[in-house]
Amino acid sequence: MKRPPKDTEESARRISRRAMLMGGAQMAFAGVLVLRMRQLQLGQSEEFRLLAEENRINIRLLPPSRGLIADRNGNLLAQNVQNYRIVLVREDAGEPRAALERLAQLIPLTADEIDRAERDIMRHRPFVPVTIADQLNWEEVARVAANAPALPGITPEVGLSRFYPFGAEFAHTVGYVGPVSERDLEARENPDPLLMIPRFQIGKIGVEREYEDILRGSAGHRRIEVNAVGREMRELDRQEGDAGANVQLTLDRALQAFTLARLGEDSAAAAVIEVQTGNILALASAPSFDPNLFVRGISVADFAALRDNDHRPMSNKTVQGAYPPGSTFKPVTALAAFDARLATPDERVFCPGYIEVSNRRFHCWNRGGHGRVNLTSALAESCDVYFYEMAQRVGIDRINAMAERMGLGFRYELPLSGISSGLNPSREWKRERRDAEWVVGDTINASIGQGYVLTTPLQLAVMTARIATGRAILPRLVHAIDDVEQPVPEYPQLGLDPAALAQVQRGMWEVSNSNRGTAYGSRIVSADLRMAGKTGTSQVFSITAAERAAGIRRQDQLPWNRRDHALFICYAPDTDPRYAVSVVVEHGGGGSSVAAPIARDIILAAQNGGLPPVEAYPAPQRNRIESMIRAISDQIGPAATPETGRRRA
Amino acid sequence: MSYLEYNVKRSPSGLRKVLYVNWVLVLLLSAVACVGFLQLYSVSGGDFSRWAEPQMQRFALSITVMFVIAFVPLWFWRSMAGMAYAVSVLLLLGVEFFGSIGMGAQRWLELGPIRLQPSEMTKITVIMAIAAYYDWLDIRKVSHPLWVGVALLIILVPAFLVVKQPDLGTALLIIGGGGMVMFFAGVSLWYFGGVIALVVGLISVVFASRGTSWQLLHDYQFRRIDTFLDPSLDPLGTSYHINQAMIALGSGGLSGRGFMQGTQSRLNFLPEKQTDFIFNTLAEEFGFIGGVFLLALYVGIIVTCVVAAMQSRNRFAALLILGIASNFFLYFAVNMAMVMGLAPVVGVPLPLVSYGGSAMLMILIGFGLVQSACIHRPRERA
């Protein structure tokens, strides 16, 4: 269509005008864009650069190596071993199921493990390495490494894991580590970021737990550059952490092994301490368990077996178990009386086999009576009536005070779990806890370590050490931290009348050295190894009238958990005491027949620095003892090496 | 035109056309494309074959297409305008009915080996159609409501089909491009003022209704509008991307962090780094200077086009050049405003720089028309 030129001119002018207008608007908008760029890139660039750095840099923690735990001779009780494991990265491995099945041809993997690994893999993002098998041995790792080209995305790795070479021997004292739980985190005010590392292990019981902060060390870190999905692109720098401190305990591995083995199948506890220093040489609670099971992750069945065992393997009976001390408490009653000058050691008390107090009859264990007894014979023969008499004279307040002086009724500061304070009863205690007034019968029961009195085996050993030395010994478990020896405190004198203390010691000597003594059968004949001791048989339940009617007269006719506890305390050598031992056998029966022989073997082992010497035993017993010692020494193995390799299904 | 004029002025023909190609425009377009190759090479982490190489191949193809179109006389394109428009509307309908078979892939139409994006093509054909329409229309009638209504229909029919795909961003670009040609054609400013007033009024009425008894939209629809306008309300979704994009841009500073040194881009913090957000990688690595340089190239293209349009005495040619240029402007203006946090995130690529063949081909087809208009402008014989 032809248009008149005028139209064309008009059209061109109009278009030009509008083009200028719109062009101007567009330039203006471009100007706005420049201003915006200026604002962001020049005005706020520092701010944004900081944000970009924060985006880019990620800090990953490097777990430090955990401090080692050794015994007094440097035997490692807890060590770190290399743990070979296999990790899989999904995005490199392709289909996980197929990859796992290829791997299963090289290392044993059960169908369950494959299923679990597959679930784990799918839960994480594709670039996250997931551990699919650990605790492999070198051969298995080598097989996987050799087949690397056929196994994309699957790599062997090495890490550290805790290992307890002596297994069950130190399960209660050294304890064990396990993965951090929710409860562990909640219990901490401001948890170390290390604890957030998946599968990080911390102490769960014993020294491992109580010294967690010392043993753990401090985390190292590496700064890495990551991309938007968090994948590591490269490492920028790396700073290794500080390893945890090594802890050397006062325990003696050989003696600990012997002690635990000697306790055998019984539910029992024994403590050995050095009387001058308070150093704990052995602290055995039987039966025990293998702490390595917990490090690897204990199976439900294994855990149920430990939990349901009526001998309570997981309990550390040496400090957690509180038992009526029975007659082992008698030295405390005697010392309370002499210290208050309400009796003299030579004073004789007539024992008709019982006494009557406020119309109630309290029997001596020997219903026929001991006749006239003084302190030494009362201790040696364990006459109850003598102490009933003393108890009435001194009263509970002085007995309570003396028990405390002898180290009973309070918690020791030791890096052990669940330490019990035992129970040193007093009038206030009974008023508060039982809402009743203290009566003289309570005092009479307390005087022979029955009634309310409860002590732990370790408390009994401390008490024995205090009797042996007359000083306020306290137990010690830690010898050195990172080779810095922990000072032995100067233990103050207890301020007991030396003559009275000597008489008590004499009485305890007669227990195992006089033919009247309750533990004469467990005497030591070597003059330089002889011990002084005290038997105890503490009643848990009385034989009921119904049982008596059914013809039950003796302990061994009762069900196991109703029988008496057997106790024995001793120190040796008698002239210059070095070691104190306490033994409690739960529901074991009699102190003299069950506990004393065990304690004798242990204190001989302690003095001999190895196994007990056969010649220290009375000649008629030597054959039997020799075979027993041989059996025990066969039972004690050398330090185990970490069990590696997959358990074949 | 008189016979005399025909004798004095004539369009170049044959190989002489090469002399009349607007080489400044070709140079500017190539420069922008080169910036694109450089950035694609950078964001791929030095992997030439990943993005940069295919992009170069596409550019080579597209610029060839541009020259072919450029050498075809403009009158041919003018007569093709109606046909092209009709074909693109048909293709949009085809996408509507056949594209829906492929799951969620409505924007594409599979034509043998080529995946055709009719909505992309529609941006050009609408401009051609409107330009041809106003070339045909008597200049005295441009502001007559009836004839304005016809123009609106030409624009809104394809725009509506694109909205249904749904692709709101492209639909707005189509409306914007067509509207601008109407503006250049001389449609009374009252219409534009009226439309702006109407849109502003409608929006404010809808917002004013919020929380009242006569609320016009559901609450969830308002919430969607809220997050659309302010991505920080949806911190895990869109806002993460735009924040990362701003960090990339801002951390560039004056001179940038250096070629291939942009941590945001290289470490994948930046979303869509090779397509919609490629400007941020440029701004991160070359800073304010780099960003302004690219913007200057774009502005240069616009200025060149405006100058060419003003030189042209042919109404269709002028409107076409201005329409294509405005379309191009809308592309980079919306994209840049979006990546700088000035506009909501809508999927508009940075023209000639973002990775992608369809948009590049259509843009260069558009500039082929511009070149055709430049070449075939009647000139005094040299």
A269 and A187 together in one domain: no
pLDDT level of residue B382 (50, 70, 90 thresholds): very low
Residue A456: give its domain's CATH number: 3.40.710.10
What pLDDT does residue B242 have? 76
| Contact yes or no for A45 and B254 at CB 8 A | yes
A7 neighbourhood in chain B, CB within 8 Å: 139
Range of weakest confidence among A86-95, A304-313, A463-472, B140-149: A86-95
Of the three residues A106, A123, A156, the one that is the final residue of a domain is A156
Residues A387 and A496 in one domain: yes
The reply to whether residue B333 touches residue A15, judged by beta carbons under 8 angstroms, is no
Q: Which amino acid is at A162?
A: R
CB contact at 8 A, A51 and B351: no
Residues A394 and A452 in one domain: yes
**Closest approach of chain B CAs to the CA of A40, in angstroms?**
5
Residue A560 shares a structural domain with residue A486: yes
Give the model's pLDDT for residue B333.
94
pLDDT confidence bin for A159, thresholds 50/70/90: confident
For residues A481 and A600, state if they share a domain: yes
Same domain, A569 and A460: yes
- Kindly report the nearest CA distance between residue B342 and chain A, in angstroms: 8
The number of folded domains in chain A is 3
Which of these three, A223, A247, A271, is where a domain ends? A247
Same domain, A480 and A555: yes
pLDDT at residue A631 greater than cutoff 60: yes
d(CA A171, CA A285): 9
CB distance B287–A41 less than 8 Å?
yes
pLDDT for res B227: 65
Query: Among residues A106, A121, A156, which one ends one of the domains?
Result: A156
Q: What sign does the dihedral A106-A291-A246-A216 (CA atoms) show? A: positive
Q: What is the Cα–Cα distance from A144 to A104, expressed in whole angstroms? A: 10
Residues of B in contact with A11 (CB under 8 A): 139, 186, 315
Domain span at A587: 253-305+313-635
B interface mutation test: which of A2, A7, A13, A18 has the most B CBs within 10 A? A18
Closest partner residue to B136 (CB to CB) among A1, A15, A51 is A1
Determine whether the interchain pair A18/B183 forms a contact, defined as Cβ–Cβ distance below 8 Å: yes
Over residues B169-181, the mean pLDDT reads 90
- Give yes or no for residue A19 having a pLDDT over 50: yes
For chain B, give the percent of residues with pLDDT over 70: 86
Lowest mean pLDDT among A90-104, A592-606, B366-380: A90-104
In a domain, A442, yes or no: yes
From the list B267, B288, B310, which residue is nearest A56 (CB)?
B267
- Rounded to a whole number, what is the distance in angstroms from the first to the last CA of chain A? 94
In a domain, A18, yes or no: no
Q: Please check whether residue A365 lies inside any domain of the structure.
A: yes
* pLDDT of amino acid B381: 55
Calculate how close chain A gets to B332, using CA atoms only, in Å: 10
Examine residue A17 and state whether it is found in any structural domain, yes or no.
Answer: no
Q: State the SS3 of chain B.
A: CCHHHHHHEECCCHHHHHHHCCHHHHHHHHHHHHHHHHHHHHHCCCCCCCCHHHHHHHHHHHHHHHHHHHHCCHHHHHHHHHHHHHHHHHHHHHHHHCHHHCCCCCCCEEECCEEECHHHHHHHHHHHHHHHHHHHCCHHHCCCHHHHHHHHHHHHHHHHHHHCCCCHHHHHHHHHHHHHHHHHHCCCHHHHHHHHHHHHHHHHHHHHCCCCCCCCCCHHHHHHHHHHHCHHHCCCCHHHHHHHHHHHHHHCCCCCCCCCCCHHHHCCCCCCCCCCCHHHHHHHHHHHHHHHHHHHHHHHHHHHHHHHHHHCCCHHHHHHHHHHHHHHHHHHHHHHHHHCCCCCCCCCCCCCCCCCHHHHHHHHHHHHHHHHHHHCCCEECC
- Residue B20's CB is within 10 A of a number of other CB atoms, namely 17
Residue A516 in any domain: the answer is: yes
Q: Is residue A12 part of a domain?
A: no
Lowest mean pLDDT among A405-414, A555-564, B291-300, B356-365: A555-564
**Is the Cβ pair B267, A228 closer than 8 Å?**
yes
- Is A37's pLDDT higher than 60? yes
| Residues A55, B269: C-beta atoms closer than 8 Å | yes
Query: Is the separation of the CB atoms in A363 and A445 below 8 Å?
Result: no
A188 and A298 housed in the same domain: no
Q: Is A40 within the bounds of a domain?
A: no
Cβ-Cβ contacts under 8 Å, A125 against chain B: none
- Give residue-wise pLDDT tens across range B25-71: 999 999 999 999 999 999 888 888 888 999 999 999 999 999 999 99
- Find which of A1, A2, A37, A225 to mutate to test the B interface (most B CBs within 10 Å of its CB): A37
Q: Annotated catalytic sites of A, by residue?
A: 327
Tell me, yes or no, whether A132 and A171 share the same domain: no
Mean per-residue pLDDT of chain A: 88
Residues A232 and A281 in one domain: no
CA B291 to chain A, closest CA, distance in angstroms equals 8
CATH of the domain at A219: 3.90.1310.10
- Closest residue in B to A1 (Cα) is B136
Q: Which residues from A are below 8 Å from B340, CB to CB? A: 33, 36-37, 40
pLDDT reading at A310 higher than 70: yes
Task: Grade residue B3 by pLDDT with cuts at 50, 70 and 90.
Answer: very low
H-assigned helices in A407-557: 427-429, 440-447, 457-469, 498-513, 545-549
Residue A144 has pLDDT above 80, yes or no: yes
**Which long-range contacts does A2-5 make (Cβ < 8 Å, 24+ apart)?**
A2/B1, A3/B139, A5/B1
Tell me the mean pLDDT in the region A598-613: 94
Indicate if A242 and A257 belong to the same structural domain.
no
- Which is nearest to B107 in space by CA: B123, B122, B92, B125? B92
B244 touches chain A (CB under 8 A): yes
Smallest CA–CA separation between B213 and chain A, in Å?
40
Question: Do A258 and A243 share a structural domain?
Answer: no
A604 in a structural domain: yes
Produce one character per residue of A51-66: b if its CB has 16 or more CB atoms within 10 Å, e if not: bbeebbebeebebbeb
SS3 call for A248: strand
Residues of B in contact with A49 (CB under 8 A): 250-251, 253
More confident residue, A76 or A346: A76
